[in-house]
Amino acid sequence: MKILLFLILLLTIQTSFAQKSSTKAFKNQQAVLVTGASSGIGRNIAETLAKKGYFVYAGARKQKDLDALNAIKNIQAIKLDVTIQSEIDAAVITVEKAGRGLYGIVNNAGVTVFGPLIEVSERDMQFQMDVNLFGPYRITKAFAPLIIKSKGRISTIGSIAGITSGAFIGPYSMSKSAMETYTGSLAVEMKKFDVQVSIVEPGNFNSKVIENMKKRIAKNKSNNKKSLFTEEMKGLEQYFPVDRSKFKSPDAVSAAIIHALFSDKPKRHYMVVPVQSEADFTLKKIFSTIVELNNGHAFSHDKAMLMAMFEKVIDDANKK
């Protein structure tokens, strides 16, 4: 009888210890919200975080995508359209009730609208901005109290197109350029709460962004009107192919997100491109803008002074 009582007591102690350990692990498992996690870059980020042991709230719109995400360890799918405030509010409640808190936000959900700026419909332009610009704004605003409480991180997927721009990608570039300035202002404001803010600017990686854009164009009859840029648009496919399976997997983008979220010294900007030419093109665009801004006014600097300023910026960055 004494042996039986001893075994019951031992089992009770072990169970209590296991429950406490499980609760501690639950609380210590940092949670991250990833929007637009159904495919492409967002799916890669969600799976990478989950494999590394982080808990991921993965936002998606379609039930089949939610089911697929829920089947992955360390991932809880959340029905989340970044253009619908009621779904965002419900997502906040879901995260709050779970009790894990929220350490990071990855604003990834995005769409692409292509077309000449003097021809693109206002409806398409509103759609572009509603997802790519107002989406991150809505998500960040809604989840800010949780991020402030955890002294966490906020990261947004931008694009080198937000720096370079070009013909027929005006709507998309406008939305991503806006996120550059959004990130800068938000970073300054959130510094008060020890919250780090960053933006990751990918180049061309394997995703469904162009495929989804083509489907939208096909559904929108207003885009089928004869264009003044018919000849120029014919060559668009070679630069933005629908089949992007030959492009590199966005593993490097996920690695940048990991660094932005968890490094002791996160960067404000992460340019992540698959080939040297994309990096060079982007940097040359920035240099070209600097030269144009410097020329032809009362406070212009000569080449030596510009180089000195550039060296000072590099030195200051290396000291951080």
Q: What's the CA gap between 288 and 293, in Å, rounded?
A: 9
CB-CB contact of 172 with 133 (8 Å): no
Query: What letters, b where the CB count within 10 A reaches 16 and e where it falls short, cover 15-25?
Result: eeeeeeeeeee
Which residue, chain included where needed, has tokens 């489907």?
215
Place of tokens 């030596």: 304
Active-site residue identified among 172, 182, 239, 270: 172
Contacts of 87 (CB under 8 A, 6+ apart): 79, 80, 81
Q: How far is the C-alpha of 155 from the C-alpha of 73, rounded, in Å?
A: 23
Q: What's the token pair of residue 103?
A: 């350490």
Tokens of 174: 């406008």
**Cα(57)–Cα(134) distance, integer angstroms:** 20
Residue 82 neighbours by CB under 8 Å, 6+ apart: 35, 36, 59, 88, 109, 131, 134, 135, 136, 138, 139
Alpha-carbon span 148 to 61, nearest angstrom: 27
Rounded to whole angstroms, how far apart are CA atoms 227 and 116?
9
Residues 262, 152: contact at Cβ < 8 Å? Answer: no
Q: Give the C-alpha separation, 60 to 37, whole Å.
A: 6
Residue 27 CA, chain-centre distance (Å), reads 25
For residue 82 the two structure tokens come to 């970044």
172 catalytic? Reply is yes
Cβ contacts of residue 175 below 8 Å, gap of 6+? 110, 128, 129, 131, 132, 133, 162
Amino acid code (one letter) for 285: K
- Residues forming the active site: 172
